[in-house]
Amino acid sequence: MERLLPAGSVVLLKNATKKLIIIGVLQVNAKENKIYDYLGVPYPEGYIGETNNFLFSHEDINDVVFVGYDNPEREKFMNAMKILYEQTQKELQDRAITREEGE
Alpha-carbon distance of 29 to 31, in angstroms, equals 6
**50: in domain:** yes
State how far the alpha carbon of 8 is from the alpha carbons of 20, 21, 22, 35, 102, in Å: 10, 6, 5, 20, 42
pLDDT tens per residue across span 37-81: 999 999 999 999 989 999 999 999 999 999 999 999 998 988 888
- Full domain range(s) for residue 21: 10-102
In a domain, 93, yes or no: yes
Q: Which of 103, 101, 99 is nearest to 32 (CA)?
A: 99
Count how many domains the chain has.
Answer: 1
Q: What is the pTM of this model?
A: 0.80
Domain-embedded: residue 2 = no
- Condensed to tens digits (0 to 9), the pLDDT of residues 19-47 reads 999 999 989 888 888 889 999 999 999 99
Number of H helices, E strands in the chain: 1, 5
**Does residue 51 lie in a domain region?**
yes
Give a yes or no: residue 98 inside a domain. yes
